[in-house]
A and B are shown apart, each in its own frame.
Chain A
Amino acid sequence: MHNNLDINVHHITRVEGHGNIVVNLKNGKIEKLQWHVPEAPRFFEAMVRGHNFQDIQIIVSRICGICSITHSLAATKAVESALGLTVSEQADTVRILMLYAEQLQSHILHVGYLAAPDFFGAPSVVPLVARAPDVVKTIVKAHRTANEWANLIAGRPTHPVTIVPGGLTRIPTAKQFRQLQQTLKDIVPAAKTIAEVVLSIAGNIPKFERPTEYVSLKQTSPPTYTFYHGGITSTDIKGMVCPVEKWHDTANEYVVEQSTAKWAKWHRDSYAVGALARFNNNADLLSPMAKDAAKMFGLQKGNCNPYMNTVAQLVECFHIIETTIEMIDKLLTKGLKDESCLSGVRNPAGTIKAGRGAGAVEAPRGILFHEYEFDKKGNCVAADMCIPTNQNHANIQKDFEKLLPEILDQSPNDIRLKLEMLVRSYDPCISCSTHFLDVKFVK
């Protein structure tokens, strides 16, 4: 047990954006234990004001270089809700397939490149190549497949260009869908290999639990393990569902001194969103392969070990692959229709009406809300967005407060690593904006 301890992780690595961990222990007493988010606000809500409804999803896709499809879809759903625009069943299905591509892309990235080095005791994926070349090659293969899948449907691997209010500008051909389906069938063994590797090192996943409220989307009609449709649910409301329009009442965002990002709470001091939240709310609706994967790891509904979020992401990878293979079959059986929205909008009434609307989509790291108001010309007059990582910040802090006293007998390095791993397990996406090269020439 330490009497005095100072841990200052200034900018934790292998997460998106900048977050700091601060621990001060004096005479055996914890004086300071904080999860800091020091990033500057990015003002996207102000940036979209005055822009036409057709531009919104393109602008907000720049919020993130990982979940750009999710942001575009949440924005588009909100725009469609505000303006009363309809979307065909086919476009709806293809949008979900696009979202799945991003989920797989992001999950593999997190499990493979960002979290796996922790389990292997490596500082990053680069030195891991020398130690486990086949594992890294398998991870890269799966990640590449997901990237090409996103490219095929969204027009680019990141920052999609095919989504427009009312539908999609284009969709892949039947032949391309069949190729995608075959590629996904082909990567099932790679996914199983990744699962087996993670299982072989699962003993390194810390055993820590804290009873937690988990919030996610829930779709009851038809019952689906949803990433796109449905309303808001929580493990504290026993399967009830709140309409997405009520998200302000469920997220209850507030401001704290230690963070430039807002925090959120619902029934308790904090709640968690993400793969483990989706699993805890909807696990019985997973595909058979995903259920098998969960069983492999002993992951069951009600799990409240935040480190297991990474495993829940892996389980979701199987669900996504298996479900997509089925969805493509259904799509092609019905036959693809030429309904590209080149004008951008299917607006039966022919006129735009002023309105306000909200949209929610499950980002890889949890439920995401967008809300917009438009004037009668279709120009944005107000915007509000609530990203999943904001909803997790308070929960990370609460986890820290329970975890630290439990591991104080460990070495400072181990304590630091466990706190860092905890943050990484949430797969936080703190922000992304400037990414210019910063170089010095070798003399």
Chain B
Amino acid sequence: MHLLLDAFPRREVRKVTGKSQKKAIVVIGLGNVLLSDEGIGVHIARRLARPKRKFPLVDFIEAGSAGLTLLHLIANRKKAVIIDCARMEAEPGTIRRFTPDEVRSVKQLSNFSMHEQDILQVINLSKQLGECPREIVFFGIQPESLEPGQKPTKTLAGRMETYIAEISKELA
């Protein structure tokens, strides 16, 4: 019943709204949780956000397949950590840390569409608006399967602790 349990948003998530204070660091989990490994970013963000992890300076956000909403989620933060399933020509389950400067998108759609837009373009827009975090870090995880399914594959799920440890270092 995890779907229903998600109906009660955690305090950390709610605080981002309205007039409340944004925290300096934001961790954004991207992906569609109905397509197995495609949702790995969201699964990791959920695990990181569990209270026992205790990151007082961090907001954790499940952004799903949000597009330009990202622009608002990263605005005026000190640091943004974006976790997503990424095709990186690596072994399934591989996690790789990179910054926007280290990659180029291979998406053919050069202009904005509502969902297909390139995250790098959102970052570019954020920079032009003068509200981009000083530091943006991506964690890409190479998927094994993008088939329908509400859980990541065993290959990725089995490495969850590694992912958590790796990303936690970034949040210290």
A interface vs B, CB < 8 Å? 11, 13-17, 43, 47, 54-55, 58-59, 62, 65-66, 68, 109, 113-114, 117, 123-126, 129-130, 136-137, 140, 143-144, 147-148, 151-152, 155-159, 161-162, 164, 169-170, 176, 179-180, 183, 344, 429, 432-442
Min CB gap B45→A, angstroms: 12
Contact indicator A66/B115 (Cβ below 8 Å): yes
Q: How far is the CA of A130 from the CA of B130 in the complex (A)?
A: 12
List of B residues within 8 angstroms of A58 by Cβ:
3-4, 6-7
Instruction: Tell whether A156 pairs with B9 under 8 Å between CB atoms, given A11-B108, A435-B115, A438-B87.
Output: yes
Question: In this assembly, does B102 line the interface, its C-beta being within 8 Å of a C-beta of chain A?
Answer: yes
Contact indicator B104/A440 (Cβ below 8 Å): yes
Cβ 8 A contact of B9, one of A109, A123, A155: A155
List of B residues within 8 angstroms of A129 by Cβ:
125, 128-129
Contact indicator A125/B112 (Cβ below 8 Å): yes
- Which of B62, B69, B138 has most A Cβ within 10 Å? B69
Cβ 8 A contact of A158, one of B18, B66, B129: B66
Instruction: Tell whether A435 pairs with B18 under 8 Å between CB atoms, given A15-B113, A66-B67, A161-B6.
Output: no
Contact indicator B38/A54 (Cβ below 8 Å): no
Contact indicator B4/A16 (Cβ below 8 Å): no
List of A residues within 8 angstroms of B153 by Cβ:
none
List of A residues within 8 angstroms of B148 by Cβ:
43, 47
List of B residues within 8 angstroms of A15 by Cβ:
113-114
B interface vs A, CB < 8 Å? 3-4, 6-9, 13-14, 16-19, 30-35, 38, 62-69, 71-73, 75, 84-88, 98, 101-116, 119, 121, 124-125, 128-129, 138, 140, 143, 146, 148
Min CB gap B118→A, angstroms: 9
Contact indicator A436/B146 (Cβ below 8 Å): yes
Q: How far is the CA of A114 from the CA of B107 in the complex (A)?
A: 18
Contact indicator A14/B111 (Cβ below 8 Å): yes
Min CB gap B2→A, angstroms: 10
Instruction: Tell whether A157 pairs with B104 under 8 Å between CB atoms, given A16-B113, A164-B7, A435-B30.
Output: no
Contact indicator A55/B68 (Cβ below 8 Å): no
Contact indicator B138/A158 (Cβ below 8 Å): no
Q: A13-B111, A124-B110, A159-B64 are in contact. List 11 more A-B contacts (CB 8 A).
A: A14-B111, A14-B114, A62-B64, A113-B68, A126-B121, A129-B125, A148-B17, A432-B114, A435-B115, A437-B140, A438-B106
